[in-house]
Structure 1
């Protein structure tokens, strides 16, 4: 260290850098601290999917489970959905206390997603329900309507959506992750399933390098499988450990 060199030479009376407190590490000593969790395992996300099956906005929660950003879920309108694709073209984000709608995060974010069967069914059910709600309120229906709205037709706010996610998660007893952890989970599980990274990236609307560097999360079973693939199931634990557990 240059400063310490000057101290050794007598040019400085002491190393002032040594007096500065070191910033706290991002990782705590408690390896089980659930606040460090970025994503869920397949079994955990399946528990969440079962929990939201009866929720009014089950379709929105499924869109989140399939890796769509919060802004995308809250910004999609019914006319962007047809029999073949859910077209992501707009997003709704919080700006202070206001919510603004605009273009998606990047050019890659503009994409057409073929909805899986469970999501397609949930969207169909939500549309039927919202039409009935409109009728009860005496309001006219329009396919330009946002998908993520409350019973009275008011748009769902980003902060409400994130808070509601935590309420549902807490009710199920699942580990705490942020809402964006569902997106992390989607990326990680797709990669773990062997889906090519460029396809994973195209589905989620970002660069392939982003899938690997930020969103991908290795779980214990992934690490076990990686070790087993290297030298076989016995070699994963080493010959000295076999039979000791």
Structure 2
């Protein structure tokens, strides 16, 4: 997700660009697959604070890196501003699972876990449906 598509004041996220991995090596950026995939989603309240915190965390990182910082506009980046790809994310999560002595599981289930978390924290069903990709 790019910061330009996220409006924390209105708590909305526009889905316009996706990043996927081809062959677990090459990052591919492209438009959403379908017209239904291009949509504006409400950002549930439990997510607004962590996103604001992440945004503010990147300011000192950018200052510390100086000219080495790549201002790519992506929200999930490393300390030099380079976007994190799904392989890197998966490796970091698996490392964390090992450090915490937790069972390793496939991250494809994280989408459903996220939806369960949002539902258990009072996010209305119509917002869950939009986040899941169901047409409203």
TM-score normalised to the size of structure 1? 0.45
- Residue 90, structure 1, aligned to residue 17, structure 2: yes
CA distance in 1, matches of 2:79, 2:93: 18
When residues 156 and 182 of structure 1 are mapped into structure 2, their CA distance, relative to the original with a 3 A threshold, is same
Q: Alignment RMSD, CA only?
A: 2.9
Structure exhibiting the larger radius of gyration computed from Cα positions: 1
SS in 2 for 1:159: helix
Deviation at 1:88, TM superposition (A): 1.8
CA distance in 2, matches of 1:124, 1:141: 20
- Kept in 2, the 8 Å contact 1:110–1:205? The answer is no
CA distance in 2, matches of 1:112, 1:154: 25
Deviation at 1:187, TM superposition (A): 4.1
SS in 2 for 1:92: strand
Unmatched segments (≥5 aa) in structure 2: none
- Residue 159, structure 1, aligned to residue 84, structure 2: no
TM-score normalised to the size of structure 2? 0.74
CA distance in 1, matches of 2:102, 2:95: 11
Deviation at 1:179, TM superposition (A): 1.2
When residues 126 and 185 of structure 1 are mapped into structure 2, their CA distance, relative to the original with a 3 A threshold, is closer
Q: C-alpha deviations, 1:44-99, integer Å up to 9, x for none?
A: xxxxxxxxxxxxxxxxxxxxxxxxxxxxxxxx111111111122211111123211
